[in-house]
Amino acid sequence: MRKPLFEMGRTLATAGVMAVLEERGQQDLLQSVLHRHCYGDWGDVDEDDWRANEQALQDNERLVSVYKVDSGLRLWIITEADRCQTTVMLPEEY
């Protein structure tokens, strides 16, 4: 059985993310994107950012994923370099 590539630490979603997902009835989407993130599917980042995340895995640096969801909704997931916390946010909350 495959294991996650890294520890995500404490997992948080901003109030904005929770409100949007609840409004759309898509609360289950949160677990889906977190799963993709911890298994190295960085989502909708460009090639340079994909490579940067792959290097960040080796160097214990910050990891950033971006997932485009229906109707233009984008979710950003950021795991801190020390792997103590992972935050799901809307781009405008960064």
Say what the pTM is: 0.95
What is the domain extent for residue 77?
Answer: 10-93
What's the pLDDT tens digit per position in 37-71? 999 999 999 999 999 999 999 999 999 999 999 87
Amino acid at 2: R
Domain presence at residue 85: yes
Domain count, the chain: 1
Domain presence at residue 37: yes
Compute the distance between CA of residue 51 and CA of residue 72 in angstroms, rounded to an integer.
Answer: 25
Domain presence at residue 2: no
Distance set, CA 52 to CA 65, 67, 72 (Å): 11, 17, 25
Domain presence at residue 89: yes
Those residues whose C-beta lies under 8 Å from the C-beta of residue 76, and which sit 6 or more positions away, are 64, 65, 66, 88, 89, 90, 91, 94
